[in-house]
């Protein structure tokens, strides 16, 4: 499988990247605080990977849920600059009794493309919490 993303920046410092038919602006200047920066986009990809796999594994493991939410924190190292650690909490609301939370969390850590890519370069830790 291959993925294709294209990015552009112009002299006015407007920056975007495109995936399929969707274009997303990102911030590269101090005055662009309303836009996500590249590090936040990376953490967003991590969050999307985890949530996609919650949905995927609900079918494979045979459980239902009302909603899922994730909070992700990235810890930045200064020299050399990089994301040194990722911390997350996944909140799963309204899961039925067929859910085995430990098995779900194990599968999220084992089979996520972005998760597996990032764990090779930084420390990742997190938890899955069930909410009513």
Range of the domain at 6: 1-33
CA angle 48, 54, 58 (to 5 degrees): 150
At residue 27, does pLDDT exceed 90? no
Taking residue 104's Cβ as centre, other Cβ atoms within 10 Å add up to 23
At residue 29, does pLDDT exceed 80? no
Looking at residues 34-42, what average pLDDT do you find? 93
At residue 14, does pLDDT exceed 90? no
- Number of domains present in the structure of the chain: 2
Q: Are residues 117 and 100 in the same domain?
A: yes
Q: Are residues 7 and 56 in the same domain?
A: no
For residue 110, give both structure tokens: 């084992």
CB-based contact 20:29 (threshold 8 Å): no
Q: Omega of the bond prior to 80 within 30 degrees of 0, cis?
A: yes
Whether the full predicted model's pTM is greater than 0.75, yes or no, is yes
Looking at residues 39-62, what average pLDDT do you find? 97
Looking at residues 62-74, what average pLDDT do you find? 97
């Amino acid at each position: 499988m291959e993925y294709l993303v294209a990015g552009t920046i112009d002299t006015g410092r407007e920056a975007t990247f495109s995936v399929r038919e969707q274009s997303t602006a990102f911030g590269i200047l101090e005055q662009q605080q309303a836009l996500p920066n590249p590090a936040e986009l990376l953490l967003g990809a991590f969050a999307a990977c985890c949530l996609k796999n919650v949905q995927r594994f609900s079918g494979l493991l045979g459980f239902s849920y009302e909603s899922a939410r994730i909070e992700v924190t990235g810890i930045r190292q200064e020299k050399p600059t990089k994301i040194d650690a990722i911390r997350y909490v996944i909140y799963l609301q309204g899961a039925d009794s067929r859910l085995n939370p430990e098995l779900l969390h194990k599968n999220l850590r084992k089979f996520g493309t972005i998760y597996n890519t990032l764990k090779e370069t930084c420390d990742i830790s997190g938890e899955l919490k069930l909410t009513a």
